[in-house]
Structure 1
Amino acid sequence: MMHGYESVSVDEGPEPPEWPREFRAHTGHGGLRERGDDISVVVSDRPSTSAAMFTKSHFAGPAVVLSRANAAGRAMRAVVTLAQNANVATGRQGAEHAAEVVGRVAALTGVPQGEVLIGSTGVIGRPLPMADIRAHFDEAAALGTAAFGAAPPDVARAMMTTDTRPKTAVRTVGRARLVGVAKGVGMLEPNMATMLAYVLTDAAVPADALDAALRAAVDTSFHCLSVDTDTSTSDTVAVIANGAAGPVDTPELAAALADLCLDLTRQLARDGEGATKLLRVTVGGALNPAQARRIAKSVLNSPLVKTAVHGADPNWGRVVMAVGKNTEHPDDAAIRPGLVTVGFGDVEVYPREPGPDTLARLADAMRPPEDGSVDITVTLGLGPAAAMVYGCDLSAEYVRVNADYTT
Structure 2
Amino acid sequence: MSHIHPAWPTGFAGYTGHGGLRDSGDDISVVVSDRPAVSAAMFTRSLFAGPAVTLSRTHAAGRRLRAVVTLAQNANVATGRQGEENAAEVAGRVAAVLGIPVGEVLIGSTGVIGRPLPMDTIRAHFDAAADRGPAAFTAGPLDVARAMMTTDTRPKTAERAVGGARLVGVAKGVGMLEPDMATMLAYVLTDAALSPAELDTALRAAVDRSFHCLSVDTDTSTSDTVAVIANGAAGPVDPGEFAAALADLCLDLTLQLARDGEGATKLLRVTVEHAADPAQARRVAKSVVNSPLVKTAVHGADPNWGRVLMAIGKNTDETSISPDKVTVRFGTTEVYPDEPGPGTLADLTAAMRKDEVDIVVGLGLGQAAATVYGCDLSAGYIRVNADYTT
Correspondence 1:364 to 2:347: no
The one of 70, 73, 81 aligned to 1:81: 70
1:364 Cα deviation (Å)?
A: 2.5
Give, as a single letter, the amino acid of the residue that structure 2 aligns with 1:174.
G
1:101 Cα deviation (Å)?
A: 0.2
Tell whether the 8 Å contact from 2:301 to 2:350 is kept in structure 1 after alignment.
Answer: no
Match of 1:10 in 2: 3
1:9 Cα deviation (Å)?
A: 2.5
Give, as a single letter, the amino acid of the residue that structure 1 aligns with 2:92.
G
The one of 219, 229, 232 aligned to 1:243: 232
Tell whether the 8 Å contact from 2:192 to 2:230 is kept in structure 1 after alignment.
Answer: yes
CA deviations 1:229-269 (Å, max 9, x no partner) are 00000000000000000000110000000000000000000
CA deviations 1:114-142 (Å, max 9, x no partner) are 00000000000000000010111111111
1:361 Cα deviation (Å)?
A: 2.4
Give, as a single letter, the amino acid of the residue that structure 1 aligns with 2:360.
T
Match of 2:279 in 1: 290
The one of 88, 110, 113 aligned to 2:99: 110
> Could you tell me how far apart the structure 1 residues matched to 2:321 and 2:2 are?
41
The one of 376, 379, 390 aligned to 2:373: 390
Tell whether the 8 Å contact from 1:347 to 1:361 is kept in structure 2 after alignment.
Answer: no
> Could you tell me how far apart the structure 1 residues matched to 2:308 and 2:367 are?
21
1:386 Cα deviation (Å)?
A: 0.4
Correspondence 1:163 to 2:152: yes
Match of 2:114 in 1: 125
The one of 338, 341, 357 aligned to 1:355: 341
Match of 1:55 in 2: 44
SS for the counterpart of 1:334 is coil
Match of 1:4 in 2: none
SS for the counterpart of 2:319 is helix
Match of 2:304 in 1: 315
SS for the counterpart of 1:333 is coil
Structure 1 moving runs of 4+ over 4 Å: none
Tell whether the 8 Å contact from 1:76 to 1:116 is kept in structure 2 after alignment.
Answer: yes
1:110 Cα deviation (Å)?
A: 1.3
CA deviations 1:290-329 (Å, max 9, x no partner) are 000000000000000001101111111110000010012x
Match of 1:374 in 2: 357
Tell whether the 8 Å contact from 2:2 to 2:252 is kept in structure 1 after alignment.
Answer: no
1:356 Cα deviation (Å)?
A: 2.5
- Runs of at least 5 residues in structure 2 that lack an aligned partner in the other structure: none
CA deviations 1:169-223 (Å, max 9, x no partner) are 0000011000000000001101111100000000001000100000000000000
Correspondence 1:346 to 2:332: yes
The one of 214, 234, 258 aligned to 2:223: 234
> Could you tell me how far apart the structure 2 residues matched to 1:51 and 1:155 are?
20
> Could you tell me how far apart the structure 1 residues matched to 2:153 and 2:344 are?
36
Tell whether the 8 Å contact from 1:274 to 1:401 is kept in structure 2 after alignment.
Answer: yes
Tell whether the 8 Å contact from 1:298 to 1:323 is kept in structure 2 after alignment.
Answer: yes
SS for the counterpart of 2:324 is helix
Give, as a single letter, the amino acid of the residue that structure 2 aligns with 1:381.
G
Tell whether the 8 Å contact from 1:335 to 1:380 is kept in structure 2 after alignment.
Answer: yes
Map 1:33-48; keep pairs closer than 5 Å. 33-48=22-37
TM-score normalized by the length of structure 1 = 0.95
Q: How many residues align?
A: 390
> Could you tell me how far apart the structure 2 residues matched to 1:235 and 1:227 are?
14
Give, as a single letter, the amino acid of the residue that structure 2 aligns with 1:354.
P
